[in-house]
Structure 1
Amino acid sequence: MNCKISEAKPNYSELGNYIREINERNRDLTITNLLGVSMEKTFIPSVANLNGVDLSIYKILRNEQLACKLMSVGRDEKLPVDLYKEHEPSIVSSAYYVFEPKNKEELLPEYLMMWLCRPENDRYIGFISGGDVRGGISWDTFCSLPIKVPSITKQREIVKEYNVIQNRIELNQKLIQKLEECAQAIYKRWFVDFEFPDENGKPYKSNGGEMVLGEFGEAPKGWSSKQLQDLCKVVDSLHTTPEYSSTGLPMVRITDINTGFLNLTNTMRVDEDTFQKFSKNHKSKKGDILVSRVGATFGEFSYAHTNEKFCLGQNTAVIIPKIFDSKLMYTALTTSNTRNQVEAKAVGSAYNTLSLQDIKGLTFVLPEKDFEKITSALTDKFDVLFSNISLYSQENSCLIKMRHLLLSKLATIEK
């Protein structure tokens, strides 16, 4: 068990031979942009309350350096790590390790990041962390991880191929964002600004449509506030943690729910029996709207745009529209008004939590009568928008699988 990596795995070396830790602190407090790293291996703005926090002990992160967190990697079976590509420096918590290649003519930062993104790497880290109560590993253990380093020419070829896939994913994501923004703008014009077409086809409010003062401010005559429970069925998940499997059927956890279309590519898997157990309250279908009830993604909503099967993991819930088109309902749930309601319910709570009653109590201002007549034209527009979003999302799912395949093949590449 004490043999070296090179003895156990020919053509492999220890990661520590190629990287060095960077421990540059924010002593003069000139840098205030604080980042964290998500389980999806991307930098995210920190939401921590920094009042009274001494930022001088935080670590500086510079271009082409990487940051990772080694706590709980065994429990999560994922290494939160990302490569910093911005030219202006940022800071990360002192709980993170910042590091870089010792020699960029020997190991490219981009290739290093690709290696650390491999699913096999995550599983290996989960395996070797077994002795730690919290599932963490030390920096020394991290440095002992195996890595295969081909020639710098080969690395550049691999990175170029990877970037072709990654750039297409990012382009599709930008197109998806534009389409989602378009949907939001249309929804806002009709249900927030009340400029839906009147009987003459003209914008209602700006053309003298009658407005009355209600519970939530001014609204068209004949409109009133309705709770989500009046519009949808809300189904809770089981309050238990299953045993995951490396293969099987997808289980959607809170970390899989981020505002946008549901992506099942990276979800944890469960066996058939577990899947059936966690599907007893609800059989998944296209048009389902999922919500995360706790944690960093609390109050986020995802839209199931295909009929691909999944079951609900702990602390999630599914929203099933009854009288509201699912695409309109999802758009309503992702407006700033709904987000404000969600955040208001978390005030005073040490840990962001959204109860089932909180979800059912979300309110929307809608017409009392002729709802389908008013929204029929809008539904046609949303069908086109969501159809295009679905196409780009499905293409990205295929590209992500290609990316995973490329990452998995790194271990077979010769120098």
Structure 2
Amino acid sequence: MSEWKEVSLSELGKTITGKTPSSQYPEDFGDEVPFITPSDSFEKKYISRPERYLSRLGSDRLKDKIISSDSIMVTCIGSAMGKVAKNSLPSVTNQQINSIIVNENFDSDYIYYLFKNNYAVFRNAASGSTAIPILNKTDFDNLRFKVELDLNQQRKMVSILSKIDDKIEINNQINQELEAMAKTLYDYWFVQFDFPDQNGKPYKSSGGKMVYHPELKREIPEGWGVDSLWNIANFYNGLAMQKYRPDTNEDDYLPVIKIREMMNGFSKDTEKARLDIPTEAIVERGDILFSWSATLEVIIWGKERGALNQHIFKVTSDTYPKSFIYFELKSYLKVFKAIAELRKTTMGHITQDHLKQAKIVVPPIDLISKLDAKLQPIMLKQQMLENQNQELTQLRDWLLPMLMNGQVKVE
């Protein structure tokens, strides 16, 4: 039987504030126990592969900070305040995250969606004398929420939301497999040089003629060229979108694509830009984006139209198909990341000069087109799944407040 009551957060479970290992013990970091921070992807329901891990020694040193799987993690500092995710494995977080180990009276998915629906509560509760808002453990535990007490009703309420999130995650996994499939095919043709020769046999493995290229200091197929990434593509850098903010909240707008949005999609914190920005700064589905500062990554944008912020290139080409540009950038990314790492005394980034110095092997255009014809169906399927995920996300976000506030009941 449905019954609602207002309770404090501390009544929902045990709160654990995380901790970062001491710099005196670098051996505490390793590859065994997930170490989760606000920089990990809180846009997904589960964080299963964080950027960093602890060693077994490090987790033993912080054994009182370990949270069991299916705990609810809430970011409690700065611009990331109020983001919510669950952990799929026993983990440790840093001190900027408060986690709830949910007690037996509540379903953990229910508490996850309860917190997602009360994002503003966490944001508004932050305080502090500094410019960076902080939500400490005491204030965190004292927050109050209206909750459904009946456990069966809780599970009914969130079942549809969980199914939507499960479908989104399945689509993400399929897309990862499709990406790996496309890259394997690309590498086979243009990295291992085993594209089909005139007899349909693998070129290099079948004795195809290779010639030494002095600039690359390695052999490449006879007749192939060498050029720079800068010459084969157009790199348009985004704009400082704070100059293009809408005049009022009622104005139509484009969501701004910063590095955060590029990696995780749009959120409630996404900034807005006017519609009259330069055409070149508008990003459409299927555009190649290359973040060149701080976080270096290359993606094919799969979300709705947006406004391109500075520190991200939109990459196009007048000569070569998108698949060739995308995979050449992806292949060179590890070199760019090594360059950026050496520049971290400032902000790790790459420059136009690095793009001009980035030499790649360029196959004949007819061969590039043949491979593109094979890759297009894979990339199209990825785009379809991205579109489906966006629709599912919008549906979930529309249902969330109605279900969690009791406006809609699931029988």
Q: Alpha carbons of 1:31 and 1:149: their partners in 2 closer, same or farther (altered >3 Å)? A: farther
Secondary structure in structure 1 of the residue aligned to 2:66: strand
Match of 1:363 in 2: 359
| Structure 2: segments with no counterpart, 5+ residues | none
Give the % identical residues. Answer: 23
Match of 1:19 in 2: 13
Displacement after TM superposition at 1:23 (Å): 6.1
State the aligned residue count.
382
Q: Alpha carbons of 1:389 and 1:173: their partners in 2 closer, same or farther (altered >3 Å)? A: same
Q: Alpha carbons of 1:393 and 1:193: their partners in 2 closer, same or farther (altered >3 Å)? A: same
| Structure 1: segments with no counterpart, 5+ residues | 1-9
For the 8 Å contact 1:148–1:411, the answer to whether it is kept is no
Q: What value does the CA root-mean-square deviation take over the aligned residues?
A: 3.4
Q: Distance in 2 between matches of 1:197 and 1:269?
A: 48
Match of 1:6 in 2: none
Match of 1:353 in 2: 348
For the 8 Å contact 2:68–2:101, the answer to whether it is kept is no
Q: Distance in 2 between matches of 1:223 and 1:31?
A: 42
Displacement after TM superposition at 1:252 (Å): 0.7
Q: Alpha carbons of 1:142 and 1:122: their partners in 2 closer, same or farther (altered >3 Å)? A: same
Match of 2:338 in 1: 344
1:412 paired to 2:409: no
Displacement after TM superposition at 1:140 (Å): 2.6
1:218 paired to 2:214: no
Displacement after TM superposition at 1:330 (Å): 1.6
Q: Distance in 1 between matches of 2:201 and 2:220?
A: 17
Map Cα deviations across residues 372-407 of structure 1 (whole Å, 9 max, x no partner): 211222121122111211111111111111111222
Counterpart residue type for residue 311 of structure 1: A
Q: Alpha carbons of 1:269 and 1:360: their partners in 2 closer, same or farther (altered >3 Å)? A: farther
Displacement after TM superposition at 1:173 (Å): 1.6
Displacement after TM superposition at 1:182 (Å): 1.3
Counterpart residue type for residue 165 of structure 1: I
For the 8 Å contact 1:32–1:91, the answer to whether it is kept is no
Match of 1:178 in 2: 177
Match of 1:382 in 2: 375
Match of 1:291 in 2: 290
Displacement after TM superposition at 1:18 (Å): 2.0
Counterpart residue type for residue 186 of structure 2: Y
Q: Alpha carbons of 1:60 and 1:344: their partners in 2 closer, same or farther (altered >3 Å)? A: same
For the 8 Å contact 2:282–2:308, the answer to whether it is kept is no
1:229 paired to 2:230: yes
Map Cα deviations across residues 325-380 of structure 1 (whole Å, 9 max, x no partner): 11332233223xx232122112323366223423554432112xxx3211222121
Displacement after TM superposition at 1:234 (Å): 0.6
Q: Distance in 1 between matches of 2:257 and 2:18?
A: 38
Q: TM-score, normalised by structure 1?
A: 0.80
Counterpart residue type for residue 67 of structure 1: M
Q: Distance in 1 between matches of 2:234 and 2:298?
A: 15
Q: TM-score, normalised by structure 2?
A: 0.81
Q: Alpha carbons of 1:384 and 1:263: their partners in 2 closer, same or farther (altered >3 Å)? A: farther
Q: Distance in 2 between matches of 1:167 and 1:204?
A: 43
Q: Map 1:226-265 onto structure 2 (within 5 A).
A: 226-239=227-240, 241=242, 248-258=253-263, 263-264=265-266
For the 8 Å contact 2:69–2:87, the answer to whether it is kept is yes
Q: Please, which of 83, 87, 91 is the counterpart of residue 86 of structure 2?
A: 83
For the 8 Å contact 2:33–2:53, the answer to whether it is kept is no
1:315 paired to 2:350: no
Counterpart residue type for residue 334 of structure 1: K
Match of 2:101 in 1: 100
1:304 paired to 2:301: yes
Map Cα deviations across residues 67-86 of structure 1 (whole Å, 9 max, x no partner): 333111xx34x523322233
For the 8 Å contact 2:18–2:95, the answer to whether it is kept is no
